[in-house]
Structure 1
Amino acid sequence: MSDWLPPMTTRPNTPAILWVVGLLCLPEVIFLLDGTGLFGRDGLRTWAVVNFGFWNQLLSGGVPLWPLQREAMFLTYALLHGGLLHLAGNVVVTLALAGIVVARSSDAGFVVLFCVGAIGGGIGYALLGPAGAPMVGASGAVFGLIGAWKYWEWEDRRRFGAPMRPLWLSVVGLALLNFVIFWMLDGLLAWEAHLGGAVAGALWAAVVSPRPAAR
């Protein structure tokens, strides 16, 4: 067994990456401008969360405010954030991992994975999350990227005979980091979305990764 593992190829700042990051930033820019009174009203963020956040009540008999809200919220919640710091954290991780995803798949593959992670995050929150609190943020999608990245690391380590211990330690470290942040934020962390997104991303990577040729 060798400790050597080649670094993953990356292709940063492709059009798809820039478009996705731009879409994540756009609502926050609008909310900041709304706070200055530019649009003649305040409270646009609240309106957006009510209409486009993820609400578990809609999956248990709640009445949607507009057609297909129940279905669309599995994606729309990922475009909203609780503020600049929340947005910045998700954008930084997206930019750090998106180039790897594009290199391992394509621009289209990155967009699909981002959506798959968001949907997986919504499913995780629907199954494990509280009923009364809405969820916003791209962390489900971001953990979809992380899940795919970790799957590819596992695949590479297996192919090159590198030890798996660093991989499992990093996974445990991510879990502990989630616990610490959950504690620091008094429970205001959608770990359910993180888990759902990571599982969805890993499954996506397992499906789309090319299979080695039979010998």
Structure 2
Amino acid sequence: MILTSVLPELILLSADFGLIGSPRWRPLAYQYGAFWAGLLHGWQPNFAVQPVTMFLTHAFLHTGPMHLIGNMLALGVLGQMILERHNTGQFILIYIAAALGGGTTYGLLSHSAVPMVGASGAIFGLAGAQLVWRWQDQPKGDLSHLRRLAELCGGMLGLVVINLLMWWLQDGQLAWQTHLGGTLMGVAAAGLLPAQRPILLKIRS
């Protein structure tokens, strides 16, 4: 999944500097591949199925190298965690489901005229799935259900805090709706996938 995000940005960055193609490639990529909430509210699409394809294509475009690097670092860490217990096919399934969930929630909650791009919805989905699995892996005899639930809620609260910090650092230019939808879809997918290789945790008294 890293390659599918890195390659488009490398091509667009090369075009930005005039090494290949044209500097117009980036705005064209956003025009045809970004998520435009207006397409769900009467805007005219550039091609017939754009209101459908944008639910996925937005996750493979980024606003620039810094946006890409931040997302890919998070993807590398979370991806390794996921692959420790699930196979590549299941990892891709969670990633795509979270990207679609992020796009869907953004479309439902946002009427912004600004295009939305980035893999962060899918990445937050991986984080949500990992939280669920950590909760499931806790030895049930050592922790009460209430404490296990509190740990899960604490992890979810941590994701909320991360979003608030990112929103502040980016002066409000953050598609929090995408993160919310991706997280919820990741949580749902983690609950539906069959158990694979649980991560054994040491409980300290």
Q: TM-score range by the shorter chain?
A: 0.7 to 0.9
Q: Which residue of 2 aligns with 1:79?
A: 60
**Aligned alpha-carbon RMSD (Å):** 1.7
Structure 1: 4+ residue segments shifted above 4 A? none
2:78 paired residue number: 97
Q: What runs of 5+ residues in structure 2 fail to find an aligned partner?
A: 197-205
Is 2:183 the partner of 1:202? no
2:173 aligned partner? 188
Residue 104 of structure 1: SS of its match in structure 2? Answer: coil
One-letter code aligned to 2:179: H
| Counterpart AA for 2:91 | F
SS of the residue corresponding to residue 164 of structure 2 reads helix
Report sequence identity in percent: 37
Letter in 1 for 2:193: V
What letter corresponds to residue 37 of structure 2 in structure 1?
Answer: N
2:203 is matched with none
**Cα distance, 1:174 vs structure 2:** 1.9
Q: SS state of the match for residue 179, structure 2?
A: helix
State the 1:22 CA deviation: 0.7
Match of 1:131 among 112, 116, 128: 112
1:31 counterpart letter in structure 2 = L
Instruction: Give the Cα separation in 2 of the matches to 1:134 and 1:90.
Output: 18
Q: CA deviation at 1:124?
A: 1.2
Matches within 5 A, 1:156-195: 156-157=137-138, 159=140, 161-162=142-143, 163-164=147-148, 165-195=150-180
Paired residue for 1:22?
3
Counterpart-to-counterpart distance in 1, 2:156 and 2:139: 16
Residue equivalent to 1:153: 134
Alpha-carbon separation, structure 2, partners of 1:206 and 1:75: 22
2:32 corresponds to which residue?
Answer: 51
C-alpha distance in 1 between matches for 2:110 and 2:141: 39
Q: Structure 1 regions of 5+ residues with no counterpart?
A: 1-19
User: TM-score, with normalisation over the residues of structure 2?
Assistant: 0.87
* Partner AA of 1:103 in structure 2: E
1:62 Cα shift?
1.6
Q: Aligned partners of 1:123, 1:40: CA distance in 2, in Å? A: 32
Partners of 2:88 and 2:111 lie apart in 1 by: 35
Matched, 1:61 2:45: no
> Residue 132 of structure 2 contacts residue 152 of structure 2 at CA under 8 Å; is this kept in 1?
no
Q: 1:184 to 1:93 in 2, by over 3 A?
A: same
Give the Cα–Cα distance (whole angstroms) in 2 for the partners of residues 85 and 40 of structure 1: 22
Where does residue 13 of structure 1 map in the other structure? none
